[in-house]
Structure 1
Amino acid sequence: MNDTLTCGHDFSPSNYRLQGAVHQCYACHRERMEARRAKNRERDDAIVADHRAGVSKDVLAKTHRLCLNRIYNIIRANTPKQNRLTSDPLFPERAMQRAAELSNTRVEELKSHWREKHLVKARWCVMAAMHERGVGYKSIGRRLGGRDHTTIIYGVRQAGIFSERSPEFRAMLDQVRAA
């Protein structure tokens, strides 16, 4: 059994006691961190010296532009292309109304905490349709009778599973989506 740490130290029982190997590894790690800090300090001092001399104004401007471009790209990548809910703010109400019609119930029953099968499936359709439109889990939960966001996550997953298995459920989900 010959085990080697990432720094290259061998800590097999025949060579070292485990405690000694760990201390040696920490010392090696500390040395590497100090070397890295010294290198960064030298680099920072060189940048400051160049900046004071006026040599690196172009470099500083390019670096500044690169940072701004990176920030812009991160924001753009994490922002939805279109806020689909604001383009149709009445969709959640229409979806609940359509699901209630298809399951022969009232919207109040969809918002209730009853666990009858036809109500649960209708709720799942509404949850999935609203989620696809960009409504947040908490907002869906508030609209459906104050449910927790984890309940909505579970409902959206179940809607995906049932839409693959059941053509009737898929048809109901498609009609709720089209509401």
Structure 2
Amino acid sequence: MTTIERASVLSGVPVWLLRSDCRLRGLCLVRFAVMAAMRRKGMTLPAIGHAMRRDHSTVLSGIRKADDYAARYPRFMAFVEALA
């Protein structure tokens, strides 16, 4: 099971929606968590971008936001760790 598929199962958000252009806050948080988990697994920014259908600079921004949320919200940190 891929990280994206695992996030889909744990969050209830379909894979296609995680890869979409939708910018709803809750969906973006799941997307950021997926990006951070993939990076923790050692994937490169371009590889994560390809998997998420995003540019590598967008992935970097998402990872930084995930780090900010993880520092403030223990439940978000636990979600990222469950994916990694």
The two structures have a TM-score, normalised by structure 1, of: 0.45
The 5-angstrom pairing of residues 59-138 of structure 1 reads 94-138=2-46
Q: Which has the larger radius of gyration?
A: 1
Tell me the distance in 1 between the aligned counterparts of 2:49 and 2:2. Answer: 16
Alpha-carbon distance, 1:170 to partner: 1.0
Task: Letter of the 1:97 partner, please give it.
Answer: E
Q: Counterpart of 2:65?
A: 158
Alpha-carbon distance, 1:98 to partner: 1.6
Unaligned runs of 5+ in 2: none
Kept in 2, the 8 Å contact 1:130–1:140? The answer is yes
SS of corresponding position for 2:23? coil
Count of aligned pairs between the two proteins: 84
Percent of matched pairs sharing the same residue: 35
Q: Considering Cα pairs closer than 8 Å and 6+ residues apart, tell me whether 1 or 2 has the greater RCO.
A: 2
SS of corresponding position for 1:114? coil
Tell me the distance in 2 between the aligned counterparts of 1:100 and 1:117. Answer: 16
Tell me the distance in 2 between the aligned counterparts of 1:101 and 1:117. Answer: 18
Alpha-carbon distance, 1:143 to partner: 0.6
Unaligned runs of 5+ in 1: 1-92
Runs of 4+ in 1 over 6 A off after TM superposition: none
SS of corresponding position for 1:174? helix
Tell me the distance in 2 between the aligned counterparts of 1:168 and 1:157. Answer: 17
Tell me the distance in 2 between the aligned counterparts of 1:119 and 1:162. Answer: 14
